[in-house]
Chains A and B, each alone.
Chain A
Amino acid sequence: MSCRIKFRPILLAFIFGTVGIALTSGALAYQASLIPASRLINPDELVKILQSAKSEKPLMIQVGSHVLYTQAHIPGSEYIGPASSESGLQLLRKRVEPLPRSKFIVLYCGCCPWSHCPNVKPADDALRAMGFTNVKVLYIPGNFGMDWVEKGFPVAKGD
């Protein structure tokens, strides 16, 4: 009887703990919200860097959907593919592999509201894991249309 009484809380804690970890890990896996503020760059800061003659120009990589990239992207940025998929991550790793690890790289997407973007965090994690030390993620709170295009920042179209 006493064995049953002790066993129940342990069993329940195990079940709830497992469910909790599963839920949180699923949610945290791609949450852009978990990227520390120190690794973010705002659109106006990026535009200043792009327009400054003195600043080092970053390699800008769009890690979202091709359909969105074709409609509008930051001039000079490259399309790699959605980093939420393994194939997109592989293309990203391949693209940056030959670069010095101090290379200034800006990642961006803007497919969805920031907390729902499935692409930027895996891309940032991949570059960090490769040893890149100067990576910034463009902070786009709503989407690329609202926070970049409609604000009048420079835009290019097509492939």
Chain B
Amino acid sequence: MKKWILLGLALIAIAGLYFTTRHHGVPTGTRGKGIAEQSLAPDFSLPDLSGQKLDLSSYRGKVVLLDFWATWCDPCREEIPHFVELQKRYGDQGLQIIGVSMDDEAEPVRDFYQRFKMNYPVVMGNAKTGELYGGVLGLPIAFLIGRDGRITAKHIGATDISVFEREIATLLRVK
């Protein structure tokens, strides 16, 4: 019996250590400075993973979640399955998630895209795109853009998916 209690305590300690090291000190969903809310989202034309150009302006009329991320960024990776789920759930109502990878190379992004069964377009970002959006100097950073092309929110760091979902639902109601 004593052995089982000790084993249980050891497991709790290991689990505690694991989650502490993973989540300690992570600012979640900070609204950052830089580009102003309600300003028009800067347009860009960037290659997607198959080399086709993607123009942000062509999504005018949709609610866009623009996610700056990278494959090596742990909190970014944690968000991706939730974004896949949101795209499934709200895509037919007018949501379009667009990933902007800040990886230096496209190869790991392609692998990641397949492995995580991503269902929305991902383009390869660059320093210029980052600067257009007020400087993407830390990841993840996500922008919510209304149907009129205006930025309604900027979230820095891993953000609870319920926050995104609430904001998306509000924006989708605006026709």
Contacts and interface: CB of A to CB of B under 8 A. Distances in A.
B40 interface: no
B25 A67 contact: no
Size class of the A contact interface (CB-based, 8 Å): 35 or more
B137 A66 contact: no
A65 B74 contact: no
Contacts of B27: 113, 141-142
A33 B76 CA distance: 18
B26 A113 contact: yes
Interface string A123-141: 0000000000000000001
A34 B70 CA distance: 23
A35 to B, nearest CB: 12
B157 interface: yes
Contact of B7 (A13, A67, A118): A13
Interface in A15-31: 16-17, 20, 23-24, 27-28, 31
Interface stretch (A45-53, A93-101, A144-152): A144-152
A107 B134 CA distance: 25
**Interface secondary structure of A, over-half rule:** helix
Best-buried of B23, B76, B103, B135 by chain A (most CB within 10 Å): B135
Nearest to B125: A67
Interface stretch (B11-19, B52-60, B86-94, B162-170): B11-19
B160 to A, nearest CB: 15
Contact of B102 (A28, A65, A110): A65
A23 B14 contact: yes
Interface in A100-132: 110-116, 118
5 contacts: A113-B26, A113-B157, A115-B21, A116-B26, A145-B138
Interface of A: 9, 12-13, 16-17, 20, 23-24, 27-28, 31, 33-34, 65-68, 70-72, 82, 84-85, 110-116, 118, 141-146, 148-150
